[in-house]
């Protein structure tokens, strides 16, 4: 191929790429790309402000560890850009996970309900447990999580940032599931929404049970 033809082909390819980017940006600005009508109680994209359906995409803002609601166009354009990462996709139900009582005690989590995520921002594993005010965070010692992984090699595949291990030791037998990180944060939001009084009230127990039933329906066995 001649140099002139190669330069022409490169120019055409560059124009096509520019057209794709321009089209996506136009979609992001267009208020008519979604059938969701904007109203006072409609959920909106946190990045561009247009109305989005209830069943919408999420991104994780890494530095803030914050879940961002996104429309399809923003999710496509911003995934992997800068601080944003798409949340995980798999829900894996773990049977027979080995978590001895002394190992759980070493996590220093005051309740039997938490999720764990490997954070690339802090370069460690973070445990988050629900409270009336939202998620409470605690960084784990390297030795404790290393023992957890030695006992349960399935955790070697836990994707940093975008998915987490949810543990419910308030029931017998305990429940463990790997889930997308937005589902992990959904658990803390569910508890906050149903909490009543000092102890939480019966609504919290029902809401947590329903949450895990929904996860089980979506999950595949390990």
State whether 194 and 102 are in the same domain.
yes
| Chain Cα centroid distance, residue 143 | 25
Q: Pick the last residue of a domain from 86, 115, 143.
A: 86
* Cis peptide preceding 188, ω within 30 of 0: no
Q: Pick the last residue of a domain from 35, 70, 86.
A: 86
Query: Residue 198: which pLDDT band, with cuts at 50, 70 and 90?
Result: low
Instruction: Read off the pLDDT of residues 103-113 as tens digits, 9 standing for 90 and up.
Output: 999 999 988 99
The residue-averaged pLDDT of 180-198 equals 83
Q: Are 163 and 156 in contact (CB under 8 A)?
A: no
The residue-averaged pLDDT of 34-53 equals 72
Number of structural domains (the chain) is: 2
pLDDT of residue 10: 46
- Alpha-carbon torsion (26, 30, 34, 40), positive or negative: positive
Residue 62 CA to residue 116 CA, distance in Å, equals 15
State whether 22 and 64 are in the same domain.
yes
Residues shown for the chain: 222
Beta bridge partners of 164: 179
Query: Residue 28: which pLDDT band, with cuts at 50, 70 and 90?
Result: very low
Please indicate, yes or no, whether the overall pTM of this predicted structure exceeds 0.75. Answer: no
pLDDT of residue 149: 96
Residue 183 CA to residue 164 CA, distance in Å, equals 9
22-36, 38-52, 127-141, 149-163 — most confident range: 149-163
Nearest alpha carbon to residue 33 among 21, 57, 50 = 50
Q: Above 90 in pLDDT, residue 65?
A: no
Q: Above 70 in pLDDT, residue 210?
A: yes
The residue-averaged pLDDT of 53-63 equals 88
Percent of the chain with pLDDT over 70: 79
Q: Is 16 exposed, middle or buried (0-12, 13-18, 19+ CB in 10 A)?
A: exposed
The residue-averaged pLDDT of 13-32 equals 37
Q: Pick the last residue of a domain from 40, 64, 86.
A: 86
What angle separates helix 202-218 from helix 181-194, to the nearest 10 degrees?
160
Residue 174 CA to residue 130 CA, distance in Å, equals 17
State whether 70 and 21 are in the same domain.
yes
State whether 162 and 195 are in the same domain.
yes
Provide the residue range defining the domain that includes 181.
92-221
Percent of the chain with pLDDT over 90: 44
Query: Residue 213: which pLDDT band, with cuts at 50, 70 and 90?
Result: very high
State whether 197 and 101 are in the same domain.
yes
State whether 81 and 143 are in the same domain.
no
| Chain Cα centroid distance, residue 177 | 13
Query: Residue 41: which pLDDT band, with cuts at 50, 70 and 90?
Result: low
State whether 126 and 197 are in the same domain.
yes
State whether 80 and 185 are in the same domain.
no
């Amino acid at each position: 191929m001649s140099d002139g033809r190669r330069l022409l082909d490169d120019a055409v390819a560059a124009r096509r790429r520019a057209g794709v980017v321009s089209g996506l940006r136009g979609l992001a600005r267009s208020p008519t790309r979604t059938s969701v009508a904007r109203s006072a109680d409609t959920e909106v994209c946190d990045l561009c402000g247009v109305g989005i359906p209830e069943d919408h995409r999420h991104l994780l803002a890494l530095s803030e560890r914050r879940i961002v609601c996104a429309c399809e166009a923003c999710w496509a354009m911003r995934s992997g850009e800068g601080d944003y990462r798409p949340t995980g996709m798999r829900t894996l139900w773990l049977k027979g996970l080995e978590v001895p009582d002394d190992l759980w005690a070493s996590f220093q989590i005051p309740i039997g309900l938490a999720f764990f995520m490997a954070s690339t921002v802090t370069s460690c594993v973070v445990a988050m447990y629900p409270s009336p005010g939202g998620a409470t965070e605690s960084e784990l010692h390297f030795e404790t999580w290393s023992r957890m992984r030695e006992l349960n090699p399935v955790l070697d595949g836990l994707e940093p940032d975008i998915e987490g291990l949810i543990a419910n030791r308030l029931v017998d037998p305990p429940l463990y599931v790997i889930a997308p990180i937005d589902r992990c944060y959904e658990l803390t939001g569910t508890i906050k929404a149903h909490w009543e009084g000092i102890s939480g009230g019966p609504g919290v127990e029902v809401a947590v049970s329903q949450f895990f039933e929904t996860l089980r329906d979506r999950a595949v066995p390990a």
